[in-house]
Amino acid sequence: MLPAWKGIDDEAKTAAADLEKQGYVAFIADIYGEGNVPKDNESAAKTAGFYKKDYAAYQKRISLALEQLKKNGAIPEKIAVIGYCFGGTGALESARGKLPVVGVVSIHGSIGKDQSRPSEAISTKILVENPAEDKGVTPEDYNNLVKEMNDGKADWQIITYANSKHTFTDPKSPDYNAVMAKRAWNHTLLFLKEILK
């Protein structure tokens, strides 16, 4: 699991605990490294912005987390990446970088990518959970993602949640939407059940 831009938070911890109740082994990746936690939104935006621009560095960090997960006994053919916000961006980068995962779930992640980057074949199954009122996702981002997925012959789906803003799944956010958050989680579980069977 890849957390939001401030690092490992309660939303990621709760999701990991819920996954374990479903019988999965959950591992939250500390992308920034021990002790390197952004103190505020400004520093989080700067750090996340660095990794969004240097996507290869982000993919490398995710790859190292996957290696650690496998060292702890994870079955390589049964690994999926779930990410929230900045982590949702990382989930898509896992697929774009051809990291060894069966599927990815991007939950209110930044779905756009630099259009100068080539689109390649994508074999990872993809679920994007997108809030309809996320100001960080433009119609152009959405259309470009659809084109990227189709050009890459990916097995993909995007679910858009009505009346939902960027952090709609986080109970601590003023934009929390309990109904849509529950639906998104149920869609995540259904996707995992399908790809990890």
Residue 14, pLDDT score: 97
Domains and CATH numbers, the chain: 10-195 (3.40.50.1820)
Q: Which of 12, 2, 86, 10 is nearest to 44 (CA)?
A: 86
Mean pLDDT, the chain, whole residue set: 95
CB-based contacts of 185: which residues, under 8 Å, 6+ apart? 15, 18, 169
How many CB atoms within 10 Å of residue 174? 7
Query: Interhelix angle for 41-53 vs 55-71, to 10°?
Result: 90
pLDDT tens profile 22-33: 999 999 999 988
What is the residue whose two structure tokens read 């989930």? 91
| Per-residue confidence band for 37, with pLDDT thresholds at 50, 70 and 90 | confident
pLDDT tens profile 45-93: 999 999 989 999 999 999 999 999 999 889 989 999 999 999 999 999 9
Q: Which of 124, 31, 139, 36 is nearest to 86 (CA)?
A: 31
HSE (CB half, 13 Å, CA atoms) of 64?
A: 10
pLDDT tens profile 129-187: 999 999 999 999 999 999 999 999 999 999 999 999 999 999 999 999 999 999 999 99
Are the C-beta atoms of 22 and 16 separated by less than 8 Å? no
pLDDT tens profile 96-125: 999 999 999 999 999 999 889 988 999 999
One-letter amino acid identity for 44?
A: A
The whole model's pTM is what?
0.96
